[in-house]
Amino acid sequence: MRSISMGMRVGSEKRYVKGLSELVVIMIAVAIAIPVMFLLQAWLTGQIAKMPELESIAVTYDAKPINTDTMLVSITVTNNGNDPINVEGVSVVYTASNGSVILRNFNSTLSESLPITIDPKSSKTLMISISGASKVNGAVITVRSLATNAQKMIKATGI
């Protein structure tokens, strides 16, 4: 009678080769999947950072002549963010009556001095009178976040 031993086939001298156990295969798959997941997360986070952000502060201006040499500039600052901001500076570029282009900084409006606080989800219109101006070319507003203390200069768009 022939004896059967482990790993031997009856009538043959060839041994069976065992494969990897299921537990080892699962551990290898997990060991590969976890680093791949972290690499994918890092790549996706980088892609999201490149997406354009919705501007949380919008600034528009409109200029109307009051008389022959004076312009009334209304600047509307809208805070769409979640934190209050301070308007700390207002600069207006205008063409003077004599044709020269002038940049003028203002530290107050017709109704109040700077800085002016604007609460979240609200807006405020700043009125400025410029004597000797025939045309307003643009406006730049300097704002500071009260939450982060970050300062930003924003070019106003004309209406």
CA dist list (Å): 81 to 114, 119, 154, 156? 20, 9, 15, 17
109-123: pLDDT as tens digits: 998 999 999 999 999
Is 50 a domain residue?
no
Give the domain range for residue 121: 57-158
Query: Is the pTM for the entire model greater than 0.85?
Result: no
Q: Is the alpha carbon torsion for 130, 56, 153, 112 positive or negative?
A: positive
Is 146 a domain residue?
yes
Q: Is the pLDDT of residue 9 over 70?
A: no
Is 71 a domain residue?
yes
pLDDT band for position 139 (cuts 50, 70, 90):
very high
Is 67 a domain residue?
yes
Query: Could you report how far apart the first and last alpha carbons of the chain are, in Å?
Result: 104
Number of domains in the chain: 1
Is 102 a domain residue?
yes
Is 8 a domain residue?
no
Residue 124: count of CB within 10 angstroms of its CB: 17
CATH number, domain with residue 139: 2.60.40.1470
Is 6 a domain residue?
no
Is 145 a domain residue?
yes
- The position carrying tokens 């949380």 is 56
